[in-house]
Chain A
């Protein structure tokens, strides 16, 4: 079965750039989504089609996908960005989620 691998944790200082990776076999050939989940809340779509932001998602969030790795970049990270982040892709008709990355802003 297809797997997506994320680092369990990422730390960043406020105002700095956070980079969260998501790895999978030939992932660059698939479309990747990213979801943000804060404690006690439902996941929120923050990126789709690798690099497109839904309405209302700040411009500091950006995405890319090439080779075997998709990347979520948060520029000028704010304390409010502290959350769990999940990547998601499609393996043919099957939905696959990554294991999640806890972003700590300290």
Chain B
């Protein structure tokens, strides 16, 4: 049974750095064909993809965010993926989700098939 859970601060001040941790179980991020992504959702708005890390440590980032604001890392021994986002702004207020990615390298098919419950992060002074 695959589960994921996000953790981190619920409130950050503008200009601060946000660090979120995704702790998962039921799979290993060292297994081929697996990834973990971060997706956020501002209140009442649509989903927005942020970053993704694969089992082989390949990383992808959303081009829509300011260059180098995001960093994604994994700790396979702890079953955790960490997302850091610098220079937080009130527009970054959102529910942040982490999700398990299944990747079929033969057909290059990939999808987010398990999601965490999400964690609401408010950016305010």
Contacts and interface: CB of A to CB of B under 8 A. Distances in A.
Interface of A: 1, 31, 33, 35, 37, 42-45, 48-49, 54, 86, 88, 90, 93-100
Interface residues of B, number: 24
B87 interface: no
Interface of chain A, helix or strand or loop or mixed? strand
B91 interface: no
Given A43-B47, A86-B47, 13 more contacts: A31-B109, A33-B112, A37-B47, A43-B39, A43-B112, A43-B115, A44-B115, A48-B111, A86-B46, A94-B49, A94-B60, A95-B49, A100-B46
A31 B103 CA distance: 12
B47 A49 contact: no
Contacts of B52: 95
Per DSSP, are chain B's interface residues mostly helix, strand or loop, or mixed?
A: strand
12 contacts: A31-B108, A42-B97, A42-B115, A43-B99, A49-B107, A49-B109, A49-B111, A90-B110, A95-B37, A95-B52, A96-B49, A97-B46
Given A43-B97, A95-B37, A35 B47 contact: yes
A-B pairs, top 8 by smallest CB distance, nearest first, are: A95-B49, A48-B111, A42-B115, A97-B47, A100-B46, A33-B111, A99-B46, A45-B113
Contacts of A97: 39, 46-49
A99 B46 CA distance: 5
A33 B109 CA distance: 10
